[in-house]
Amino acid sequence: MPILVILDLVVKEWAHAAVQTGSYTRLWTGFGLTHGFNPGVSFSLFNNFPQAVLVITGLLTAGVLTWLALTQDRKMILPLGLVGAGALANFIDRLNHGAVTDIFVIGAPQSPLFTNNLADFWISFGAVAMALMSVKIGRRSTLKAMR
């Protein structure tokens, strides 16, 4: 997990140094680079409340990292590690810059579907993995109950 946090923060610092704020560089159709800041959360929600976002995301990050440290379910380690790494990297970025640095544009640059960073990808992958595991576990429980 620490390597994921470091990688995200290094890429963000590279963006600060090498990519002009507000610019867009197309890498391939539907995907490009930018340099922006989001003081809120996903989809720029709560942009006007950066201090509250900092406190709440700090508490959520601490909760995920505690869950990761205490889990007995070995299958949950990777998904929780991804979510924890992404949350911690974004929290550190928010502490350092007052906002989360966004780098990747998915979709048309004029109206992107998402503008995010590596940490956001890791949070998403971990959350999807946890959801899929829950469905699989729920299905097993239902099948056992039906027997």
Q: What is the pLDDT of residues 76-110, one digit of tens each?
A: 999 999 999 999 999 999 999 999 999 999 998 88
Task: Find, among 2, 7, 16, the residue nearest to 100 by Cα.
Answer: 16
CA–CA gap between residue 112 and residue 129 (Å, rounded):
25
As a whole number, mean pLDDT of residues 116-143 equals: 84
Could you identify the residue written with the tokens 């002009």? 20
The whole model's pTM is what?
0.87
Give the contacts of 23 (CB within 8 A, at least 6 positions apart): 33, 34, 35
Query: Where in the chain are the domains?
Result: 2-146
Strand partners, 34: 24
